[in-house]
Structure 1
Amino acid sequence: MTSKKKKIGNGLFLAAVFILTIYSVFHGEDLHAVLKAIVRVNPWYLLPAVSGVIIFIWGESIIIHYMLGTLNIMTKKRTCFQYSCIGFFFSCITPSASGGQPMQIYYMRKNKIPIPVATIVLMIVTITYKSVLVFIGLFVAFFQRGFVHKYLEGILPVFYLGVILNVFCCIAMSVLVLCPSLAKFIMMKGLVILERVRIFRKKEERTRKLEESMNHYTVTSDYLKGHGKVIVHVLLLTFLQRFALFFVTWFVYRAFGLHGASIYDVVMLQAVVSVSVDMLPLPGGMGISENLFLIIFKTVFVGSLLLPGMVLSRGIAFYVQLLFSACMTAAAHFTIGRKALDIGV
């Protein structure tokens, strides 16, 4: 019952955020003019834009496949692509992208991948994912003062908050990966507390299973700490993956036949939006992403093309991603776990 109520609550929250986003963006605007401008774009530029979304999702699946392979867990690339789609779908519809990894772990467990292994692999994926944002944020803040002054004056508080939150998140998760004994202490202590407040009944079997899981977590963590090249490779792949999505806005910009801004400015501005909203408690950054775009891109998508540019860029980068990953998640629900995998760690 609690799970059902939570799902209903999340659904209502998502719907409310979506409605408020539509209202805040389109209130008082000429929707016919917006649609007319979008219809006139060069469709050939939209093909690489949509491809960028697919590459973005596919990139994470390659990282998951690669990391599981280093742990001697053999999986199909197609299955890892499904894991990736599941993660992005639930991240898009839950606040702070909190639902993505738990659902990925659930489906990975259906394929007999141990939960501690899945957890630490996905934690490293998240750390490198956010590390790219931290690098971009710090680079812009400290070395691109002209860029900041030209484009970001109107959103600096949100931008700096995004950088700080991502830095703290990376540090916290890195500590849990690099200090498995601390992670084990937190989990075991947490179980004791839950038993004391009678959320869980005290069971020796549960304690034993959790301890075994955390020992497995420690083995996996020690292995990864001894293989620094794996992390470096994952970080490089993550850079390529993230920028594939940032380039969507550049292709949309060119689809409107615009030329004034450089490719660097357009791509980095989109990266700044991602840095700013990534840790905010809104599903897919809805509402804040659209409004930040309208503020910082006003000198890029000139005049009446600003709103159509936002609609098309955001529509491809987020809503195409949401719909595509939703379809793949539905398919994964009926296919993942049907055949057990051979596991050897």
Structure 2
Amino acid sequence: MKNYGKNKNFIFNILILIFLSAVVFSIIFKNENKRALMLLLFSAKKIYIFFGVLCALIFIVGDAINTKRLLYMFNYKFTFLRTLKYAFVGFFFSGITPSATGGQPMQIYEMKKDGVEISRSTLALFVSMLSNQLTSFFLGVLCLTWYLSQNLYVSKGILSLVIVGLIINICVIAFILLCIFNPKISLSFAKFLGFIINKLPFLQEGRKQTLKLSLQIQIEEYNIFSKYIVKNKLTLFKTFLTTCIQMVSMFGVSYLVYLSLGQDKYSVMDIISMQCLIYIASSYMPLPGSVGVNETGFLLLFADIYPKNLINGALLLTRGINFYLLLIISFLALILYKLFSAGKSPINISKT
């Protein structure tokens, strides 16, 4: 992450996230007994917290597996550790930018540095995004159906956000399919991606112009390689299956936190359904990490699940594991990667 820390936009994004998080949690914990809260956190059963962290990490690992699989489809034979870097890049920059807009462009940038043509990295990420959207849509419908069938309380506001989220899911799925298979739409997206690249922090102007020019040149190659998608149905199915495991694992963090606090009245499906609905309702909000919306959704949906004296602690543990801890781990992993790779020559990759 060369010169990242020196870039004003990079620092600004992190400061905004810290500021919003501080405001949200200061409001939530305003009347909380801080000593009692700390005792609650330390009394949580560590074995469940440990498995909760593992579940969160499975999300990152799954993203790396999908990226490795999709790049291999274009004959880029990367190691798992290298695609794990892309997964950390995606999570970190999605977490610090509004509506997660910074993740994919930064992944494309990192892949380009490793010798991956922009046309192919973009197509691979489109397929990954399509898998994410399809999975979140189907899980969202399933969890909403389950949630309502159990007569669990859901506010009209949250229900409205969930429905809007599902509608946006459908629109994004349609858009991605058009981008993959319609040359005119993909050209328009290339222009949009060029705009995003132009706004990216920590990239010098000359580097931005080079990337945009390369993007324009390779859009025709992108349309040619989009035909690979139809020919690799098994790869698509494996990607979708991996994404399902990723999301269920991430939503499962909530259930493990629930168990860690000594609760067992509600089933794993009940808790996972609630967390899924929170994700659907908040994922499109134009705030870094959906800060504020995610926490509010948690407090509203889990109000009848946790006793009043536990819910704030449950929120802190859940959000701490499935977002803030992963954000910190991603940042540290990228720092370590840059330190160990400093001075090394560019990698050689197998590509035909």
| Same structural fold, with TM-score higher than 0.5 when normalized by the shorter chain | yes
Q: 1:114-133 to 2 correspondence within 5 Å? A: 114-133=117-136
Match of 1:97 in 2: 100
Q: Structure 2: state its 5+ residue gaps.
A: 1-5, 195-204
Q: Are the counterparts in 2 of residues 49 and 248 from structure 1 also a CA contact under 8 Å?
A: yes
Q: Which secondary structure does the structure 2 equivalent of 1:269 belong to?
A: helix
1:280-330 deviations in Å (ceiling 9; x for gaps): 111111111111111101122223111111111111111111111111121
* 1:283 has 2:288 as partner: yes
* CA distance, structure 1, for counterparts of residue 135 and residue 193 of structure 2: 31
The whole-number CA distance in structure 2 between the counterparts of 1:221 and 1:254 is 45
State the alpha-carbon separation in 1 of the partners of residues 184 and 82 from structure 2. 31
Greater CA drift, 324-333 or 111-120: 324-333
CA contact (8 A) 2:147 2:273 kept: no
Tell whether the 8 Å contact from 1:89 to 1:329 is kept in structure 2 after alignment.
no
The residue aligned with 2:89 is 86
1:176 to 174, 179, 189: 179
Instruction: Please state whether the residue corresponding to 1:63 is helix, strand or coil.
Output: helix
Give 3-state SS (helix, strand or coil) of 2:139's partner.
Answer: helix
Contact 2:143/2:276, CA 8 A, preserved across alignment = no
**What is the one-letter code of the residue matched to 1:283?**
P
Q: Which amino acid aligns with 2:153?
A: Y
Contact kept in structure 2, 1:113 and 1:343, CA below 8 Å: no
Runs of 4+ in 1 over 6 A off after TM superposition: 188-191, 205-208
Bigger shift: 175-184 or 106-115?
A: 175-184
Cα RMSD of the aligned pairs, angstroms, is: 2.5
Partner SS for 1:285: coil
CA distance in 1 between counterparts of 2:17 and 2:188 reads 35
- After TM superposition, the score normalised by the length of structure 1 is 0.88
- Looking at structure 1, the residues matched to 279 and 193 of structure 2 have their Cα atoms a distance apart, in angstroms, of 33
Q: Which moved more, 1:166-175 or 1:208-217?
A: 208-217
Which of 72, 77, 83 matches 1:74? 77
> Judging changes above 3 Å, is the alpha-carbon distance between structure 1 residues 44 and 143 closer, same or farther for their aligned structure 2 residues?
closer
1:340 to 326, 347, 352: 347
Residues 25, 333 of structure 1: alpha-carbon distance in 2 compared, 3 angstrom cutoff: same
Amino acid at match of 2:347: A
Question: What are the equivalent positions in structure 2 for 1:90-239 lying under 5 Å apart?
Answer: 90-141=93-144, 145-147=148-150, 149-154=151-156, 155-184=158-187, 187=190, 209-239=214-244
Code of the aligned partner of 1:68: L
User: Which residue identity lines up with residue 228 of structure 1 in the other structure?
Assistant: K
Q: Does the Cα contact within 8 Å between 1:96 and 1:283 map onto a contact in 2?
A: yes
Q: 1:7/1:41 Cα in 2 relative to 1: closer, same or farther (>3 Å)?
A: closer
Decide which moves more: 179-188 or 237-246: 179-188
CA–CA distance in 1 between the matches of 2:34 and 2:110?
A: 41
Q: Against the structure 1 CA distance between its residues 188 and 261, is the aligned structure 2 distance closer, same or farther, given a 3 Å change threshold?
A: closer
Aligned residue pairs, count: 330
Tell me the equivalent position of 2:50.
Answer: 47
Structure 1's unaligned 5+ residue stretches are: 192-199
Name the residue aligned to 2:29.
26
